Amino acid sequence: MPSRRAFLAGAAGAPAILPGAAGRAYSLADIERMIAMGDVKGKLSRADLPTPALILELDAFEANVARMAAWARRKNRALRPHAKTHKCPEIALALMKAGAVGACAAKISEAEALAAGGVTNLLVTSACVGPHKLERALRLARRHPETILSVDDADHAAALDAAAAAAGLRLNLAIDLWIGNRTGVEPGGKALALARRVAALKHVRLAAIQAYAGQASHALGFENRRKVSLDAMGLAVETRRLLEKSGIACPLLTGGSTGTYNIDSEIEGVDELQPGSFLFMDLDYSRIGGPDGPVFRDFAQSLFVIATVISRPTAGSAIVDAGFKAFSTDRPFGPEPRNLEGVKYSWGGDEHGKLTLGNSGPPVRLGDRIEFVVPHCDPTVNLYDRIYALRGEQVEAVWRIAARGMSQ
């Protein structure tokens, strides 16, 4: 069995196991007070954080941001990253500082939370259907007239037009195209018919085509993914051309994802990229494969969950305080311990995870802290109130996941 010291040293990056006693023993009240006052820098460290804790390693995160921003610049594409991944205004603002034109939001609650945090140029990528969402969309557009709202239905477009007329507004609409397996109007003739209806309305204007192909983002293997994405985005480009030939101006075609950023940016007619997960990365994305092999390495893991060993029921197992409520559960696999070769995580329940240590496993003790790579970043982030942004071992900032848990 390897020595405990070897495991504490870990591989490159964070130590595999952090001893429980390594923190400065701030009380929980001390920590909450520091966070409330924004007074964490130079005081709070990784070892102090109450667990389970969602952490963001800033060096890796900033490298991801810089890489995607440089790529978009080089390819002459706008970047409007999807905030469904992070739900956090500070992160959207950091992206805009790096050159992003704004942010995408999956739904009106996300857009509201981002706008309240100072984010502008929002594109809501699914339709705000129903009276409450419509009312909120109008309220947002009144304060942020540049907001773009998605539509895939003529009656909904007419409802938005009527609401805009009553409010004295002109709304920007994106036609959401069904090029994947989710929402949208079918590309080609049906999209053209919708565009004609929109063009005839007085209180809305056609600002964009919104095109997201979920089946492409995680398609396994680079060449396969390339084909799937070219097919899907090809439909969007053809539809754009059809609209233009029919005399309907379409100033923007926006879409794409982390898995297809370097495929869609090669397609003539795609103006804007909207990837999200590249900021954090997760197990799912690391497994989609890249041009050089089965691991997708374009972006670095920057998001982790720290958990504490709370029980050692048998010699070969340990229980941590992170289960279904600490990690996304929508994938057929759970989280992976970071830098801990041979140790396997399995679900132990709502609050618990089970580590199988194996014969040559590390000498884990009660109170030790173990970090995990998350299965799927978006739904994991949605489980936390805050994200601790770390520079090395030090907490540099604590950001509220402002739009978390909002179901509308």
Q: Which residues bind ligand PLP (CB under 6 A)?
A: 82, 84-85, 104, 125, 212, 217, 257-259, 274-277
98, 104, 108, 111: CA torsion to nearest 10 = 0
In angstroms, give the least distance from the CB of 319 to ligand PLP. 31
In the bound state with ligand PLP, the residue whose beta carbon lies nearer, of 257 and 339, is 257
In the bound state with ligand PLP, the residue whose beta carbon lies nearer, of 281 and 357, is 281
In the bound state with ligand PLP, the residue whose beta carbon lies nearer, of 163 and 381, is 381
In angstroms, give the least distance from the CB of 16 to ligand PLP. 28
For residue 291, which amino acid is it?
P
In the bound state with ligand PLP, the residue whose beta carbon lies nearer, of 187 and 275, is 275
d(CA 326, CA 98): 30
Pairing label, strands 122-124, 148-151: parallel
Name the strand (E) or helix (H) holding 184.
Answer: none
d(CA 168, CA 290): 49
Residue 64 contacts residue 79 (beta carbons within 8 Å): no
In angstroms, give the least distance from the CB of 240 to ligand PLP. 17
CA atoms within 13 A on the CB side of 261: 32
d(CA 273, CA 275): 6
In the bound state with ligand PLP, the residue whose beta carbon lies nearer, of 105 and 355, is 105
CA angle (46, 50, 52) in 5-degree steps = 95
In the bound state with ligand PLP, the residue whose beta carbon lies nearer, of 200 and 295, is 295
d(CA 160, CA 207): 14
Handedness of CA 268, 270, 275, 279 (dihedral sign): positive
Mapping DSSP to helix (H, G, I), strand (E, B) and coil, where does residue 154 land?
Answer: helix
Pairing label, strands 171-177, 204-211: parallel
In angstroms, give the least distance from the CB of 78 to ligand PLP. 14
In angstroms, give the least distance from the CB of 277 to ligand PLP. 3
In angstroms, give the least distance from the CB of 279 to ligand PLP. 9
Residue 279 contacts residue 85 (beta carbons within 8 Å): yes
In the bound state with ligand PLP, the residue whose beta carbon lies nearer, of 84 and 369, is 84
In angstroms, give the least distance from the CB of 274 to ligand PLP. 4
